[in-house]
Amino acid sequence: MNRLASETSPYLRQHADNPVDWFAWGEDAFAAARERDRPILLSVGYSSCHWCHVMAHESFEDDEVAGEMNRLFVNVKVDREERPDVDAIYMQAVQAMTGRGGWPMTVFLAPDGRPFHGGTYYPKDDRHGMPGFVRVMHAIDEAWTTRRDELLDAAGKLHDAIARTTTLGGGSDSDGASLTPEILDRAWKNISTQFDARFGGFGRAPKFPQAMTLDVLARRMVRDRSPELRETLTVTLDGMAAGGMYDHVGGGFHRYSVDDYWLVPHFEKMLYDQALLVGAYLRGFLVTGEPRYRRTVEETIEYVLRDLAAADGRAWCSAEDADSEGIEGKFYLWSLDEVRALCGDDAPEVIRFFGVTDKGNFVDPHTEYSGNILHAVDRTEDRPAEVERVIPRLREIRAERVRPGLDDKVLLAWNALFLRALVESAAALERDDWMDAARTNARFLFSELRRDDGRLLRSWQDGRANLLGYAEDYAALLEALLTLAELDDVAWLAEARAVADEMVRLFHDEERGGFFTTGADAETLIVRPKDMQDNATPSENSLACNALLRLAALTGELRYEDLAASWLRGMANLVGEHPTAFAYLLGAIERFVLPPVEVAVIGDSTSLWREVTSRLLPATVVLRASEGSDGSPLLTDKTLVDGEPAAYVCEHYACQKPVTTAGELRAGLDAAVTRA
């Protein structure tokens, strides 16, 4: 009996018709393992994971393989995006055992949940030096039957090693002396040594879009106008947006590039990548003024609003698959004949600009289907008029193809990440329609992913919300609400404080500082995980620290700052030495070590507000309100000047003389960020 048909996760439902006797994660599976005295075979993946589909087709849909799985194990399928806690624990185990990780992840557990063997993708049969899945299962069964004590001893040692990682962090005894601006300088030097000056990015292929690292560089550019820094930022932004990793027809970014020069992507599209890259390109536009970065922001946002819309446009789906019709990238490929036929007289220029050839530049290794991935051959060339004219036509024709599979679950944290980026973009680019969409999403998250008792939930799909929210969900939502409070309406600050207080109550580690992944009310796992590093998304602790420092500046309540400082002191040395692993946390350190700048605009003045939103202001909080508004000490005693709207630039709530013109405000902001 397969139990996955009624799950909210599209990934789990994809496996509902497998001949494997799957359980979802839960006590039923562990009870069955104890009763049968069999190990658990835990399979973790996600719906847009290409190799997850490959393993499913080769093994989980195969009657012979499924029969062996059902005979030898209790089989549990987990969506890593719905259960990041489970994924984190067992990914640590796999990395400890094999030195690497990834998805699909396959882990063998004792009936009490402790792991004793694991890996990632296993082919059905021995291939390319990899053991076949059936052979692995038989070896595990033989060891469980004849050498169980050895396995359980190894499981105990591995469990202890995983448990020790949750003791890392801050605490009251941490040394605060290391929290200085020197950390930021050291981080920049370490980032610069990883920079690929030819193609952009950091390190070698596969290349991931390290949006949070780009944010570090953009913020630094406000105070450091060195050519080296500008080159590091712009060569990377240009390389990613020109390559095939960017969808030039429909907007939005694929997951990563398999080569050094950003041409061939892994074709899935994740909501969190769109969120983080919108932010990176927006900040790139604000510090350089390059219009091509603004266009990338606009096209990526329009992609999400158009193609990832959920709940009648009130929320956003999680991802689009890499494959369509069983072929990786097929939806995105073009032949030379297609381009000639569709583009008419514009075809020669389109072919030149996008590097279209008869042979193509991509072949699916499984099916040998080939075609052209469109890419801008000259990374900084403006799109010719011919290209601008034909893109809507290409998008219209492509819409008639079979689209990649859509993971239509709505995740609170990922929606909140995009919500924040949307609010920032709406304010900076003066798009009232985007701000309306942001408000609509915030209201949806509170109405559909918050229980009557106030507890936030992780996942929503087709009218059903389930799974207790994690620290990541609370912290990402807190960041989004603070951005709404700053750039839309100070009234959002009340909701932000409520979320922050619940986050502290449910997740804070009173002994070591920081925040656990799971709440105090969540099920007990073999360890209580604590996410520290910024990977594809910011860690819960990085999000929380930055948000708590913002909240402290907006409310004047130092208890929020103290919570963040405890974690930062314990992590400071690691952050400077490994900046790309803690890139989001660097933003929190920047807020902590630089003099805080607060900006209040009182009254309805487009020119004053435009001066604030049209530039990047690192480590700053801003508010706009009418005279007499409350909700933040930043607004206390702030009045119009001679009946005219006024702007106040403050540091630690000690304010300069209010100004009434954009030029005066510009000078005040320039001076404030220079001093910082």
DSSP 554-575: HH--HHHHHHHHHHHHHHHHHH
Tell me, yes or no, whether 512 lies in a domain. no
CA–CA gap between residue 187 and residue 572 (Å, rounded) = 11
149, 165, 181 - which closes a domain: 165
Q: Tell me whether residue 555 is in a domain.
A: no
In this structure, is residue 100 part of a structural domain?
Answer: yes
Residue 645: predicted pLDDT: 98
Task: Identify residue 2 by its one-letter amino acid code.
Answer: N
Domain boundary pick from 165, 183, 215 = 165
How many angstroms from the chain centroid is the CA of residue 77? Answer: 23
Identify the CA nearest to 75 among candidates 123, 11, 4: 4
Domain boundary among 382, 403, 424: 403
Structural domain includes residue 107: yes
Q: Is residue 115 a part of any domain in this protein?
A: yes
pLDDT for 572: 87
Give the model confidence (pLDDT) of 515-554 as tens digits. Answer: 999 999 999 999 999 999 999 999 999 999 999 999 999 9
Tokens standing for residue 503: 């986050």
Q: Is residue 393 part of a domain?
A: yes
Phi, psi of 109 (to 5 degrees): -120, 150
When divided into structural domains, the chain yields a total of 3
Q: Which two tokens stand for residue 426?
A: 């709406």
CB atoms within 10 A of CB 366: 13
Q: What is the pLDDT of residue 171?
A: 52
Residue 160, domain CATH: 3.40.30.10
* In-domain check, residue 294: no
Burial class (CB in 10 A: 0-12, 13-18, 19+), 531: buried
167 close to 512: Cβ distance less than 8 angstroms: yes
Question: Residue 596 has what pLDDT?
Answer: 83
Which residue positions in the chain have pLDDT lower than 50? 172-177
Confidence at residue 176, expressed as pLDDT on a 0 to 100 scale: 46
Tell me, what's the pLDDT at 129? 81
Global pTM value: 0.96
Q: Which domain holds residue 671?
A: 597-675
Enumerate residues 6+ apart whose C-beta is below 8 A from 367.
326, 327
- For residue 240, the model assigns a pLDDT of 98
Within 10 angstroms of residue 100's Cβ, the number of other Cβ atoms is: 9
Instruction: Give the pLDDT of residue 595.
Output: 83
Residue 305: inside a domain: no
